[in-house]
Amino acid sequence: MSESTYSVIFRGDLEPGYTAADVKANMARLFKAGPETVEKLFSGRPLAIKKGLSLAQAEQLQVTLARQGAQSSVKNEAVAEAESEPAPRPAEEAPAAPAPVAQPAPVAQEEGTLSLAPMEGNLLKEHERAKVEPVQVPVSHLSLKPAVGYLVEASEKQVPPPVQVNVPDWKLGSHITGKASFKLPD
């Protein structure tokens, strides 16, 4: 029985705390590749970075990529081949009803983690985006005021009426007696 081989799969996902520009530079250094080659790795589609590895080698490459800021996954090639090849049918069997179309298996990830598209770039390709004509908004009726004083003009302010206060008539005594008196108005 032959030993299982594994592939290291990369989709362009980043480790937390890394920017796409940093990871692209790290990947270019790691693989000694040009910017065009590295840019193809960040397409969002799963790409096999390396195939035919033992489990230990695949896990080591995954750790190395994680240190560079790239999230990757390890996939068993035997399982991937079994999922992609249809089962052979005997020649004498008549064709049956068409089988349902199998969906591609998702890339294996740790349980409880989510994966998002890379932080830079667009999720839609150029031909998938809707063409929107720019809207011209007339602004000729608007003006700016210098950044001094109040925003509201003096003529726009509402002045409250003055408050009437009744003050009692205080009569102070002399400094000799030390007494004061007052009289309330009627």
Query: Class assignment of domain 1-85+114-119?
Result: alpha beta
The answer to whether residue 103 scores a pLDDT higher than 50 is no
Please choose, from the candidates 55, 56, 62, the residue with its C-alpha nearest in 3D space to the C-alpha of residue 8: 62
Average pLDDT estimate for 5-33: 88
Run of H or E including 31: helix 20-31
What value does the mean pLDDT take over residues 121-144?
A: 82
- Distance between CA atoms of residues 150 and 56, nearest Å: 71
User: pTM for this structure?
Assistant: 0.44
Higher pLDDT, 28 or 90: 28
| Highest mean pLDDT out of 24-38, 100-114, 172-186 | 24-38
Residues 163-181: pLDDT tens digits? 988 877 666 666 666 676 6
Is the confidence at residue 96, as pLDDT, over 70?
Answer: no
What pLDDT is attached to residue 106? 47
pLDDT in tens, 49-76: 888 888 899 999 999 999 989 898 899 8
Residue ranges per structural domain of the chain: 1-85+114-119
Instruction: Say what the pLDDT of residue 137 is.
Output: 92
pLDDT of residue 104: 44
More confidently predicted of 127 and 105: 127
Sequence-ordered list of residues with C-beta below 8 angstroms from that of 13, at least 6 positions apart, any chain: 70, 71, 115, 116, 117, 118
Tell me how far the alpha carbon of residue 135 is from its chain's centroid. Answer: 27
Amino acid 20: pLDDT: 87
